[in-house]
Structure 1
């Protein structure tokens, strides 16, 4: 990160503190993309003098700064109005101001996320173990009417009680870990006007009719910033999550005129939903076969579709196709983002599946996209989505635009916003370190090991931090049953095509539930 100074207004320092040069903080990534943050520096003064005499020079400086780097005026001015409140709430300028002998930061630039007053109240009212939900306007009896909705294993009016005998359910990879980040982003809501979304068609000039052009632009911009996928010259198909796009790809790659169903294979351990969804469709066009290595070794020349998940769910490995024949390949890249794994090169495959939930954590929004090389395949996939659900909800697309733009803007000109991927990667890295430390001398479990790799986005090397921990019981036993006997509901190895000696443990739960998981697993070793 480099800092370059530029000019700014000057004035009498005897009368009041004056802003000196603004600082442009520039992030440089090895993939050639850049982002900037802006702050301003003023001479050190006592906190009392600073608070009482701050307004006039700040407004002057804001005008100058906005001429150099335009930004919504409300974004800048709101920060000035927040300073006295911030000072009062935190009790120390060190929380929000970078102090030195000669200068202090006049715009917030925290080293760790700071909760909005709403988020802070939200967590405190429910002891950090639940949501505080305010009743609707029609139901309110008092201005602050509402109630705590506690997370699993917690109860009480303020979620203050832990039920030590509860079943901790981590069967699903529910990405609620990211909730804490979004509580720090009160300016990232999606407000949809009542007149918007009346038409079936998101954008009448888009060849795929149901794809919002702003969302497509935002998706391509994000992939370009991260450097994790080739998008130029490719076609974008939206789906109700990547599960629907997987089905659409099966439809597009097979023919009803084929004399036999096309075999669908994947290296084990494979993503558990692949088998379930393929069998559920019960199509005459394709059939689930399973183990890709066995299929390859059989020497058959029949057509096939190979599913490659990389990083793999459940084990986190970076997978490649193993059959290498004349069949088709679908690459599921849901977790190829820098908070989970180093970005070593842009993914470049004919069909690449992505989903919003694995980036931002918004699994309930049900939004995914496919980046497709062949226009005919993309058209068939879009047709499947059209026939299946008449496209994708415009409300979901609008929310997707807001969330993804919020992430990209966290690397641009918003000094108070934490860089999303850096913060999320740090949280996951910490969780993996704590879990590894707790189980490193375990007599029951074998933990996975990962080699560090250089990440072009972060500009440094680190070990992957997969969203799941792929545990193996040292004794030949049903590992999922072992955990269940100790009140941990997990997903056993059989669902992923391997023995019951393996089990998948989610690392994505909310903080209090992850802490509970950690303590229960540590007690088992």
Structure 2
């Protein structure tokens, strides 16, 4: 199946096709960017961006494209979701590389090794894969809520949380250890804006902010210069910098979103976060209706809060649905959905039990529509 077809009007999933809702592929935003058209198109001549270096080699981050940095700061200023004053901007190959670069940097500064890495369950499933890196500096130590160690730890705080969409705060004592705040979903289409987050280390990613997962760009806002230098050293050794071409494209994408708010109607497609919130609200409405018909699972409930970006009371619409089985006959949610040819991620991978499952709500229209039809028909 061609990727283009998945968001084509009237396209329907073959009843026998396996619908994959395991990964957080954000194809739901594709129609918006098609509407934007050439306004988001980037042309790079063959002679451009040939050097490894994007800026003066005396700068801490020698591979940071100035235009990308400027557009990151501009969007954060418009949305007001992160305090950026005095922060170093470090680009990475998505948030995945940035997480490893941050852990490497913090652990390198620590005197005792290995450093314990923890996060409160349910936690993002990738965190528990840290041990596969076989680092002598740090290792995964599980659920922060049950951690019994001393101050030799790094706590990853994902807020809003993947997989359940809840706002999170550090679980362990604020006077010990170090913290990394994964802010991938702190954008107004997912959750009400509660003012600028102001942490020492904040990680963001283009994939969840705009839907451009394939561009493989994320960025970190780092207050401590020593931590920023160590992160740059890690990325230099790991990939010898970050693609300048990807940063140029990311800068243009961010510019389109910011222009849509500072210069309304400039991109021809409308205001991205407003449209994104409408799309997610509709999917959550349809999902809740389908689950009521099925009668076997429960979904999280979120309180309505004042959103400082939209200037009104707003609901939370996470990019993932965190389902819990309420049927005693269903011991493994993953197996249940496999029977109707739907692949989703088991709660086991998030530090929860098999009676939980995470479903991607950001996929193509065809996949989401096909999923809803199967659930409704099953019920």
TM-score class, shorter: over 0.9
Please give the alpha-carbon distance, in whole angstroms, between the structure 2 residues aligned to 1:380 and 1:208.
Answer: 10
Give 1:508 shift.
0.5
Alignment of 1:54-203 (within 5 A): 150-151=5-6, 162-186=13-37, 187-203=39-55
Structure 1 alignment gaps of length 5 or more: 1-128, 132-148
Please give the alpha-carbon distance, in whole angstroms, between the structure 1 residues aligned to 2:196 and 2:90.
Answer: 19
Aligned to 1:505: 359
1:275 to 118, 121, 128: 128
Aligned to 1:209: 62
Please give the alpha-carbon distance, in whole angstroms, between the structure 1 residues aligned to 2:288 and 2:243.
Answer: 41
Please give the alpha-carbon distance, in whole angstroms, between the structure 1 residues aligned to 2:301 and 2:11.
Answer: 37
Please give the alpha-carbon distance, in whole angstroms, between the structure 2 residues aligned to 1:229 and 1:449.
Answer: 26
Aligned to 1:362: 212
Say if 2:112 and 2:152, in contact at 8 Å, map to a contact too: no
1:229 to 77, 82, 85: 82
Give 1:449 shift.
0.6
Give 1:507 shift.
0.5
Alignment of 1:91-490 (within 5 A): 150-151=5-6, 162-186=13-37, 187-204=39-56, 206-255=59-108, 258-276=111-129, 278-295=130-147, 298=148, 300-324=149-173, 325-415=175-265, 416-476=268-328, 477-490=331-344
Say if 2:118 and 2:144, in contact at 8 Å, map to a contact too: yes
In terms of Rg, which structure is larger? 1
Work out which structure has the larger RCO, using CA pairs closer than 8 Å and 6 or more positions apart in sequence: 2
Say if 1:222 and 1:408, in contact at 8 Å, map to a contact too: yes
More helix by share: 2
String of CA shifts for 1:466-492, please: whole Å, max 9, x gaps: 000000111241001100111100000
String of CA shifts for 1:415-440, please: whole Å, max 9, x gaps: 24401110111111111111112223
Instruction: Return closer, same or farther for 1:364/1:486 CA change in 2, 3 Å cut-off.
Output: same
Say if 2:206 and 2:218, in contact at 8 Å, map to a contact too: yes
Please give the alpha-carbon distance, in whole angstroms, between the structure 2 residues aligned to 1:524 and 1:244.
Answer: 40
Aligned to 1:12: none
Residue 522 in structure 1 maps to residue 376 in structure 2: yes
Instruction: Tell me how many residue pairs correspond in the alignment.
Output: 372
Please give the alpha-carbon distance, in whole angstroms, between the structure 2 residues aligned to 1:213 and 1:195.
Answer: 18
String of CA shifts for 1:358-413, please: whole Å, max 9, x gaps: 01111010001100111111111111111111111011001011100010011133
TM-score by length of 1: 0.68
Residue 494 in structure 1 maps to residue 348 in structure 2: yes
CA RMSD across the alignment: 2.0
* SS at structure 1 position matched to 2:262: coil
Structure 2 alignment gaps of length 5 or more: none
Say if 1:480 and 1:489, in contact at 8 Å, map to a contact too: yes
Instruction: Return closer, same or farther for 1:257/1:510 CA change in 2, 3 Å cut-off.
Output: closer
* SS at structure 1 position matched to 2:321: strand
Say if 1:351 and 1:373, in contact at 8 Å, map to a contact too: yes
Say if 1:493 and 1:500, in contact at 8 Å, map to a contact too: yes
Please give the alpha-carbon distance, in whole angstroms, between the structure 2 residues aligned to 1:162 and 1:178.
Answer: 19
Instruction: Return closer, same or farther for 1:381/1:288 CA change in 2, 3 Å cut-off.
Output: same
TM-score by length of 2: 0.94
Please give the alpha-carbon distance, in whole angstroms, between the structure 2 residues aligned to 1:160 and 1:348.
Answer: 44
